[in-house]
Amino acid sequence: MALEDAGRQIDHAVTREDPRGLSHENAFAGATSFLRRRYTKDLSGFDLAVTGVPFDQAVTNRTGARFGPRAIREASTLQPYDPPYGWGFDPLSEFAIADYGDLAFDYAKVWEFPDALQAHVAGMLEADVGTVVLGGDHFVTLPVLKAHVERHGPLALIQFDAHSDTWADDDMARIDHGTFVYKAAKLGLIDVDRSVQIGIRTVCEDHCGIHVIDAPEVHRTGPAAVAERIREIVGEAPAYLTFDIDCLDPAFAPGTGTPVWGGLSSGQAAAILRGIAGVRLTGGDVVEVSPPFDHGGITAVAGAHVAMEILCLWGWTRRR
């Protein structure tokens, strides 16, 4: 049936009628929604929605992450032929998943962006769906967190990153991808006792009380031990997962704004993400994919796989 479908399916992003199910559309053709899910602004009857946030005006080094959502969607067309390997269930067939498109905002009015993004995600959550956000630079996580906390209360934060993003900044109006965790902690958005950062390998004097599993510890102890430690820290708390693609070593993700050597391999990241199955995710994001600095699309491929893993983690506690 798959071979027959490959010859007749096209533009599933707009033509598919059933929001559930795999897709066998040619990877090199058609409209590139995330995982060939249907583009729609009507989330009634859906379980989870994916949205892009093409914003990179908060970076400290190389821009380009505004093109991340588009590249991740394109890379994701390689994945919807089969259930994700290693999970033992098929979230694409079990859940109704929508591609909600991108956030609309005025790029020349940067000061309006945080409220626009928070309202955008809040509107999605009002439809009682989970969310997966495709960034964009890492500042986008702060408005997204605010929307989730309005609905769910303070959350545990599971952060994969080369940088802690806890540099002190008490000016809440500043838009900076390196201070968003500091602000989230100071605003009480996250439960720091239940929060954890994985892959850190840059100096910051204050992690705001958040647990840290740095990159050398990942290499020394291995993915299974790291996943177990994450589960111990987060416990039963509702959690939000953010994955900065620079958590991966530049060998696996060169297309990012602030690359740092000594990072995780894609295999380590995959094993850790699958090892924390059972955490109670409200949603998550993958950020800082910068296609202008990518090579062969490998960073976008990594970002698309991370987004799929977040989708699987969200679905794991809700599957039949």
Q: How many CB atoms lie within 10 A of CB 167?
A: 16
Supply φ then ψ for residue 112, to 5 degrees: -85, -15
Alpha carbons 309 and 314: distance in angstroms, whole number: 9
163 annotated as belonging to a binding site for a ligand: yes
Tokens at residue 257, please? 């704004």
Report CA-CA distances (Å) from 318 to 164, 306, 307.
Answer: 30, 19, 17
Alpha carbons 121 and 134: distance in angstroms, whole number: 12
- Residue 204: name the closest of 174, 159, 269, 155 by CA: 159
108 exposure class (CB count in 10 Å sphere: 0-12, 13-18, 19+): exposed
102 annotated as belonging to a binding site for a ligand: no
Tokens at residue 47, please? 């379980």
Helix (H, G, I), strand (E, B) or coil at 211: strand
Alpha carbons 133 and 131: distance in angstroms, whole number: 6
Report CA-CA distances (Å) from 40 to 13, 14, 94, 117.
Answer: 9, 8, 19, 18
285 annotated as belonging to a binding site for a ligand: no
Alpha carbons 9 and 142: distance in angstroms, whole number: 38
Q: Which residues are annotated as a binding site for Mn(2+)?
A: 138, 161, 163, 165, 244, 246
Q: Which residues are annotated as a binding site?
A: 138, 161, 163, 165, 244, 246
